[in-house]
Amino acid sequence: MQRTGQPTINDVARVAGVSKKTVSRVINRSPLLGGETRARVEAVIAELGYVPNPQARALALRRNFLIGLVHDNPNAQTVMNVQQGMLEALHGTEFEMVVRPIDRGSATMLEDLKHFLERQRPYGVLLMPPVSENDLVARACAEIGCRYVRMGSAMLDAPERMVASNDRDAVRAATAYLIDQGHRRIGLIGGPHGFRSARERRGGFEEALAQGGISLPRSLIADGNYTFESGLVAAERLLDAVPRPTAIFSCNDEMAAGVIHAARQRGLDVPGDLSVVGFDDTPIAAHVWPPLTTVRWPIASMARSATLKLIADPEADGVEEPSLFLSTLIRRASVAAPSD
Amino acid sequence: MQRTGQPTINDVARVAGVSKKTVSRVINRSPLLGGETRARVEAVIAELGYVPNPQARALALRRNFLIGLVHDNPNAQTVMNVQQGMLEALHGTEFEMVVRPIDRGSATMLEDLKHFLERQRPYGVLLMPPVSENDLVARACAEIGCRYVRMGSAMLDAPERMVASNDRDAVRAATAYLIDQGHRRIGLIGGPHGFRSARERRGGFEEALAQGGISLPRSLIADGNYTFESGLVAAERLLDAVPRPTAIFSCNDEMAAGVIHAARQRGLDVPGDLSVVGFDDTPIAAHVWPPLTTVRWPIASMARSATLKLIADPEADGVEEPSLFLSTLIRRASVAAPSD
DNA sequence: TTGTACGCGTTATCAC
DNA sequence: GTGATAACGCGTACAA
């Protein structure tokens, strides 16, 4: 009776001489089932090459098997790392990953997201920073009734809906490391306004300076938007300061690469004339010259845990996925003691 | 009668006082429909906030609205660019993008892909290089009855199932440019065996050398696998050659960045002591120091066109999407005349 | 342990 | 133009 060439559950039932409910039980591994019957049905399934239709399943179960990744992150490597972590968590399950970029700048961003959630009704969505830091977005998901987990730089939500890293602590430690090396004039390249990660990282930086009794003049602060180019521009401003900073902490690696670029353009040696520290530990950090000292952000692990939270059976209370991830300092060659 | 809180087509029909088929006609913009009836139904749809259920649609239409991206590309930026192009093409349509990485090395790669296609039954899949260059993969799609479009470095398939770039020509031109600058000892860092792109690019390189009457000793050829690290290792071997090459063409940017890294490690100046040319024009090309002369590969545009081919109505013969895309040389600062 | 009847939300057929 | 009715493929009460 199959029109599309694909065998259906009915075909299996007919050939096996059972009802389709029995076949359904085999598929869903119902415990109460005769071993002999199960074997026969499984043999027919294999023989016919039967594959359950996910659309029909989705309709009958009133839920589908799509996990959305909602993001507006400018960093390709970061997005890929998150996808990697999600796919690890989804591997072997019946879920698929659908990727949904949204435009942070757009006035209709919330509407676009709602539109997506209403039309597609994914089983759940993973919210990546920076859009994950927007409470309105989380609320929109909740209102529509879509499960979500947020990734971020601070616990912005309940543990079962949040996976966070300790950016503030990690940056405080990284900055303390610079101070230990003897640096006193340390510049900061901050992230974009409105990014919680930018706020946390800057906070950690300022705390470390305060602990070290070091002042932070306005001339040693510049903001970027996490892109290489913005790091370049910000570094140019910082390097014009008199006296020049002997070290710069950049709130992500991309911008730190821009800092190194800017230093080289004006003939400064890194780390001889300028120490640089980044954040993220994306591949670019190891690939610039000199290799960049940076904070490793375990974004793929976070995405993996977040996804497992998302698809976890709310009933079955197995092992809880962690909600807090530690970022650690990776020491490479871009930091040295100041030369003066 | 709605259990999930979502209004269904039945609710709309009841409130509007029409049959659900009429509502269906409104949704699907059937031309034969009373204007007055249509207006009333549309008002009710808006009032109730009705959104058609894509799962039910998929079941009734016997097709879903998922476009798969099948890839095994090691370059994050390239994958992101492809996703970007796909999403541009999908924007405003009812299609969603599902991303499906596969493991090229795995012996079960073909089985895994078939498994995905059979279970998910996407409307179509976009095959990214290098997996797109595998004819067995294309055949697997065809056998399962899944539409596909391949991206690649040569026309490997019929135009409606292929989007290609002219890698060979572009590399020939890039190499000719090096020769024009006066280089005679030019090293090659090839791509992985089995990559069609690697073969085409190497072919273009060899053709240019042949045209210039320049020999290519074994000591000036090394193979990489498109990663930074492999470029680093390959460059170390090439730079050990005596006499040393004055220029190196690398089959992609990542490896070219590794070349620059290796040169700097042994104190060589780029481009003073060594000229370097890459391929792809990913952001890393502009961000290394010195900025990398490279071939711009219009991968996002290719992905966009490929996706439009995929979702094009086979009946309606509108404007054909192009199948061939031109890669062009981008001149930056990593090339100079040889100093000797 | 297994089968029957029906519902999920939509589209297609074929009358009116 | 519009409306009953039957698919689409699978899951679930409830009965046997």
Give the separation between CA A252 and CA A80, rounded to whole angstroms. Answer: 16
Comparing CB atoms, the residue among B79, B98, B228 nearest residue A283 is B228
The residue count of chain A comes to: 340
What single string gives the DSSP state of each residue in A309-331? HHHS-SSS--SPPPSEE--EEE-
Question: How close does chain A come to B106, measured CA to CA in Å?
Answer: 15
Residues A192 and A276 reside in one and the same domain? yes
Residues A202 and A254 reside in one and the same domain? yes
Nearest alpha-carbon partner for A73 in A280, A278, A260 = A280
Residues A182 and A289 reside in one and the same domain? yes
Q: Which residues of A touch B79 (CB under 8 A)?
A: 76, 80
- Our count of domains for chain A comes to 2
Tell me if B331 is assigned to some domain.
no
Question: How close does chain A come to B283, measured CA to CA in Å?
Answer: 9
Residues B180 and B140 reside in one and the same domain? no
Residues B81 and B199 reside in one and the same domain? no
Tell me if B36 is assigned to some domain.
no
Instruction: Compute how many other C-beta atoms are within 10 angstroms of the C-beta atom of residue A175.
Output: 27
Tell me if B21 is assigned to some domain.
no
Task: Dump pLDDT digits (tens) for A179-219.
Answer: 999 999 999 999 999 889 999 999 999 999 999 999 999 99
The alpha carbon of residue A185 and the mean position of all alpha carbons in its chain are separated, in whole angstroms, by 33
Tell me if A22 is assigned to some domain.
no
Query: pLDDT tens, position by position, for chain B (340 residues)?
Result: 334 568 899 889 989 989 888 999 998 888 777 778 888 899 999 989 898 998 899 988 888 899 999 998 878 888 999 999 999 999 988 899 999 888 888 888 998 899 889 888 899 999 999 899 999 999 999 998 899 999 999 999 999 999 999 999 999 999 999 999 999 999 999 999 988 999 999 999 999 999 999 999 999 999 999 999 999 999 999 999 999 999 999 999 999 999 999 999 999 999 999 999 999 999 899 999 999 999 999 999 999 999 999 998 766 666 688 999 999 999 999 999 998 6
Query: pLDDT tens, position by position, for chain A (340 residues)?
Result: 334 568 899 889 888 888 888 888 888 887 777 778 888 888 889 988 888 898 899 988 888 899 999 998 878 888 999 999 999 999 988 899 999 988 888 889 999 899 899 888 899 999 999 899 999 999 999 998 899 999 999 999 999 999 999 999 999 999 999 999 999 999 999 999 988 999 999 999 999 999 999 999 999 999 999 899 999 999 999 999 999 999 999 999 999 999 999 999 999 999 999 999 999 999 899 999 999 999 999 999 999 999 999 998 766 666 688 999 999 999 999 999 998 6
Task: Dump pLDDT digits (tens) for B188-197.
Answer: 999 999 889 9
Give chain A's contact residues with B (Cβ, < 8 Å).
Answer: 3-5, 51-56, 58-59, 62, 64, 66, 76-77, 79-81, 83, 87, 94, 96-101, 118-121, 145, 228, 257-258, 260-261, 264, 283-284, 286-289
Mutate: best of B57, B96, B233, partner A, most A CBs <10 A: B96
Note the pLDDT of residue B316.
63
Q: Which residues of A touch B64 (CB under 8 A)?
A: 55
Q: Which residue is nearest to nucleotide C8 (CA to C1')?
A: A60
Q: Which residue is nearest to nucleotide C11 (CA to C1')?
A: B60
Question: What is the extent of the structural domain holding A70?
Answer: 59-162+302-323
Question: How close does chain B come to A215, measured CA to CA in Å?
Answer: 32
User: Across the interface, do B55 and A55 touch by the CB < 8 Å criterion?
Assistant: yes
Residues A124 and A179 reside in one and the same domain? no
Question: In A49-108, which residue ranges form alpha helices assigned H by DSSP?
Answer: 54-61, 76-90
CATH code assigned at B234: 3.40.50.2300
3-class DSSP assignment, residue A189: strand
Comparing CB atoms, the residue among A96, A99, A283 nearest residue B120 is A96
CA nearest A65 in B: which residue?
Answer: B120
Residues A172 and A294 reside in one and the same domain? yes
Q: Straight-line distance from CA B195 to C1' C14, in Å?
A: 55
Q: Which residues of A touch B111 (CB under 8 A)?
A: none
Decide: CB of B10 under 7 A of nucleic strand C. Answer: yes
Tell me if A224 is assigned to some domain.
yes
Q: Which residues of B touch A287 (CB under 8 A)?
A: 228, 257-258, 261, 284
Residues B190 and B268 reside in one and the same domain? yes
Beta-carbon contacts of residue B314 (< 8 Å; ≥ 6 apart): none
pTM of the model: 0.88
User: Across the interface, do A284 and B284 touch by the CB < 8 Å criterion?
Assistant: yes
Q: Straight-line distance from CA B28 to C1' C11, in Å?
A: 10
Residues A223 and A288 reside in one and the same domain? yes
User: Across the interface, do A83 and B99 touch by the CB < 8 Å criterion?
Assistant: yes
What protein residues sit with their CB closer than 7 Å to strand D?
Answer: A 1-4, 6, 8-10, 20-21, 24, 27-28, 50, 52-53, 56-57, 59-61; B 17-22, 25, 32-34, 36-38, 56, 59-60, 62
Tell me if B104 is assigned to some domain.
yes
Residues A119 and A215 reside in one and the same domain? no
Q: Are A90 and A307 in contact (CB under 8 A)?
A: yes
Report chain C positions within 7 A of protein CB atoms.
1-5, 7-13
Give the separation between CA B86 and CA B91, rounded to whole angstroms. Answer: 9
Nucleotide nearest to B37 (CA to C1'): D1
Q: Using CA of residue A32, residue A35, residue A41, residue A45, what is the dihedral sign?
A: positive
Q: Which residues of B touch A52 (CB under 8 A)?
A: 119
Q: Which residue is nearest to nucleotide D1 (CA to C1')?
A: B33
Residues B308 and B260 reside in one and the same domain? no
Q: Which residue is nearest to nucleotide D4 (CA to C1')?
A: B19
User: Across the interface, do B228 and A83 touch by the CB < 8 Å criterion?
Assistant: no
Tell me if A130 is assigned to some domain.
yes
Residues B70 and B124 reside in one and the same domain? yes
Tell me if B333 is assigned to some domain.
no
